[in-house]
Structures are given as C-alpha cells and as structure tokens.
Structure 1
Amino acid sequence: MRSRIPVVAGAVVLVAAVGTGCAGGIDLRDENGAGISIDGDGDISVGDGSTEVEISGDGTPGSSDGGALVTDELINVATDGGTVTQDCGGRSANVVASGATVTLNGSCALVTIAGSGNQVSVGSATEVSLLGSDNTVHYASGDPVVTDLGSGNVVEEGGDAVP
C-alpha cells in the first residue's frame, strides 16, 4: 500500500495544478527526462526518458485540436467534430471519430477509420481500412489497398494532405 502514496500524492498535485489554471505549466520530470509535463497551453507530454507521448491542443503540425495521441509507431485520433492535423511519418493511424476533419500529412502505413461522417485527407497510405459509414478519404499520392467494412464510404485521390 505504501507504494501507492507517491502516485496518489502526485495525481492530487497534478489535478490541483490543472484545476487552478497553472498558466506557466508544470514539469514533473526526473533527471533522465522521465515524467509528465503540462505547458501553459494545456499540451501534455509523458515519457520515460527515451520515448515521448504527446497530446497537444494548438493545431500546429505534430499536434491537434481535436485530440490525438502520438507515439513512435502510432497516431490515435479521437474526436467528435474536431479538426486534427498530424504528420504521419510512416506510422499507422487510427481515427475514431464522428464528423471530424483529419489531415495526415506525409506517408502513412495503415490508416483505419472507425466512426461516421469524417473527412480524412492522407498524403499517402499503404492501406486504408474503413469500419464506419459515410466517411470520405482522400489520398494525395499512391494507390492504397482499401478494405471497406462499412457503408456509404468514399476513397479517392485528392484532398488537402501533403504527400
């Protein structure tokens, strides 16, 4: 039970800092860079000193304003009606959304869309898998393998993403 006390105390400090609107942000990292940081814009970064996971809210490349979790191998986009822009960088991407506009610049491996009414632009993808309905996927270059298990989906060349 003693091992949980620092975790609970850290969570209380984190919630208190976020709840009071800590404008300058907080940085709870050790000398190796492991830990968590939250900047004044609400961007969250968690890492073990070698791998970082970032959730950002400013809409710049490499972040999102709808909600994206980016790791070394995978981009997970979860939003309801938001706009997300990410650089794919050879990663796979999962889009779990409804009514979202998602732009994945560069080259993606597998792009999976689960949800409905999404507009997804991809620079290029090896494969596109659709599990929802009424989604439109545009790819700027290449000829992805398409698996459509939903209904009313469209996958065609074009869109706003940069190859």
Structure 2
Amino acid sequence: MRAGVAAAPSAVQIGILLRRCRVPAPVTAHSQAVSRLAICTALALEKKGFLLDIPLLQSAALLHDICRPAGHTHPQKAALLLEEMGFEQIARLVACHHGAGLAPSPLGEEQILFWADKRVQGTTLVSIKDRFEKSAVKCTTPEAKAAHRHQLALALAIENEIMQILEEEPL
C-alpha cells in the first residue's frame, strides 16, 4: 500500500469513484444490496468466532461492479483501477468476485463477497439456484457454460460452509 492511502476508501471516496466511473444507478443499488448482505453475514460469522475485515468487505462490495459496463472483464478492470489508487486489498477481493482463482474455503472476505453477489439479483435477494437458472440462458459457448457451472458449484459450496457455521439451512 502506498504511504498515506487507507486500506479502505472513505464513503466520500467511494462516491467519487462511482461518479468518476459513471456507474449507473441500478448497478449502484445492486452493489449496496450486496454490501448489506455481505455485512450482515460477516457480523453473524463474527459471532461464531470468525474475524473478518468488515470495512474492507463493505468497500469491496460497494465497488465490485464499478467497471461493469466493460462486460465480462469488469472484475479485472476494476481491480486494476483500485490497485492504481493504492487499494490493493480491495482490488484483490474485487478481482475474484466472479470466482476466478477462488476456492470455497477457507472462508474469508473474498468468499463472502462472491457469494453475496450471487445471492443478489438487481436488488432482490434470491436463491443461488434461482439466480443461476435465470443466468444460464446467457451462456452460449462451451467456455461460458463451463464457467457458469464452476460459479454455481463454488457459490453452493460457499453457501453450504456459511450455513454450516451459522447452523442454518441454505435458502
């Protein structure tokens, strides 16, 4: 991290980034919903003994789609932008919010962000099954179908781990 740059941007910096990147209002609303779910989940996990960096998770959730108009490469483009600004830890989380290089455990901020993003469609909380059934039609190539299956399996594995820790049934 560069000297003088905080691990997580302030609310003002987040607002400036959203405007600078011309993030559409529906994408901002989605990111806020993802952030709420991620924070609630992290707080529940903390009660079970998990130590998580909640400000880092919140910032990453709010910024994970700042380059969404760029299409499928938006996680990498957003991560590069955040890295250039000195927010390396947030960049790391944002880079893997589509599951690239992500393992289901150990459970950490990356997994919670990935899972929360998959549980929120628009601003609505949905089941993993429903989310992936709706998005399957967009996958027309063998590569896209394989990536979709990988993301589904990863999301279900992370959800299973979260629910086991919280001693709840998956939705």
Same fold (TM over 0.5): no
> Normalising by structure 2, what TM-score?
0.28
Of Structure 1 and Structure 2, the greater helix share is in: 2
Which structure has more relative contact order (CA 8 Å, sep 6+)? It is: 2
Greater C-alpha radius of gyration: 1
Of Structure 1 and Structure 2, the greater strand share is in: 1
